[in-house]
Amino acid sequence: MSDKPILSVLMSVHNGQYFLAECIESIINQTFKDFEFIIIDDGSTDDSINLIRAYAKKDSRIRIYENKRNIGLSASLNRGLALCKGEYIARMDADDFSHVSRLEKQLKYLNRNPLIGLVSVGRHYIAPNRLIFDTKIYPDNHHFISKSLIKGKNILDHGCVMFRRELISKMVEVYRFYYSQDFDLWLRLMDKTKFGMIEEPLHFRRRTMISISSTLQNKRNKISDLILELYLTRISNESEFDWKSKEQKILSGFSKNTSFSFSIGHFYDAKAWFVNKSFRKSRIAFSKLVQKNPKNGIFLMYFILSCMGILGYLIWKAITSLKNQLEIRV
């Protein structure tokens, strides 16, 4: 690595020991080599830091910084951005992994398109059972991307973007919100630059066995609504729009009682089995999800389709194809 690498890869880690090795190796084995890999350990209590140190001993491009306590993703990334030396910055999430050519192709894209300031890529979504259950490839069209963002749909996956460092050089606080911090950043950058998309799945987004509740989902949705409101009102003096107090009110304003709670990884496993035509496994898995969450229409729909076997799969394929065609209409 040169004293001033062209690219900085930035990643924050909090208790990510189970997927870190695959994640780190997917970066250090990239076809493009001239980068620094900045890893912020955000107060991990598992073996993450020891695993990172072991890789850092073998690869001098890895630079480790430790937070004494868990300060959250936004604060960790802001710290990491201040340490980046590269002309370009690529993001990475600790539970994902990238195709070996991802960084090279993103750099070439930005060099070929000087008016584009940020580029994302297509991605595969992987269930805990390691099966691909979905693939998202969006058009390389700034108008489509920006229109999607204004409609509240964030199609720029945070963990696989690359952007020009100059875009954020004058920002006092790059990442501001506890949830949906990337959505906020994209909306603020949208007035400064154009967005691009490599129409090829170069990133693997992992879905894990985390628990999700209606309370958590409501908070995320409310924060996203607040961010969109902040952008659409075009407030020139942010002191007139006290978004910090509004955010805190949202974060503390929901009851701890939830209308539903489930391990979302079980849903992704079940969907992955269905997509890969293991109908018996998907039927059993969705049956359990329906029993625990009888009011969830998505679980019920997939259970019925699983019971129908190949016919249900063909119906799902037709619906998905139609949905995708409607999505990409500019």
Residues 220 and 244 in one domain: yes
Residues 229 and 197 in one domain: no
Confidence tier at 322 by pLDDT (50, 70, 90) = confident
pLDDT (tens digit, 9 = 90+) per residue, 200-250?
999 999 887 665 455 566 777 888 888 888 888 765 455 556 767 877 777
Q: What percent of the chain is modeled with pLDDT above 90? A: 66
pLDDT value of residue 244? 74
Ramachandran category for residue 235: left, alpha or beta (phi over 0 → left; psi -120 to 50 → alpha): beta
Dihedral sign (CA 75, 184, 172, 196): positive
The total number of structural domains that make up the chain: 3
Residues 183 and 230 in one domain: no
CATH classification at residue 77: 3.90.550.10
Least confident range from 35-39, 147-151, 201-205, 235-239: namely 235-239
Residues 51 and 101 in one domain: yes
pLDDT value of residue 229? 83
What is the span of the domain harbouring residue 245? Answer: 212-252
Q: Could you tell me the pTM of the whole model?
A: 0.87
Residues 65 and 132 in one domain: yes
Rounded to whole angstroms, the Cα distance separating 214 from 257 reads 9
110-145 exposure pattern, b = at least 16 Cβ within 10 A, e = fewer: beeeeebbbbbbbbbbbbbbebebbebbbbbbbebb
Residues 188 and 313 in one domain: no
| Mean pLDDT along residues 126-138 | 91
pLDDT (tens digit, 9 = 90+) per residue, 244-288?
787 777 777 654 444 445 567 788 899 999 999 999 999 999 999
pLDDT at 93 over 90: yes
pLDDT value of residue 129? 84
Residues 153 and 21 in one domain: yes
pLDDT value of residue 239? 52
Quick check: is 294 in a domain? yes
Q: What percent of the chain is modeled with pLDDT above 70? A: 90
- CA distances from residue 261 to 219, 257, 281, 300 in whole angstroms, order as listed: 14, 10, 22, 16
Quick check: is 138 in a domain? yes
Quick check: is 2 in a domain? no
Confidence tier at 40 by pLDDT (50, 70, 90) = very high
pLDDT at 292 over 80: yes
Residues 190 and 234 in one domain: no
| Mean pLDDT along residues 185-208 | 93
Quick check: is 1 in a domain? no
Quick check: is 60 in a domain? yes
Residues 267 and 285 in one domain: yes
pLDDT at 43 over 70: yes
Quick check: is 221 in a domain? yes
Residues 155 and 102 in one domain: yes
Residues 232 and 275 in one domain: no
Residues 305 and 225 in one domain: no
pLDDT value of residue 234? 65
Closest Cα partner for 63 from 47, 45, 84?
Answer: 84
| Mean pLDDT along residues 96-100 | 96
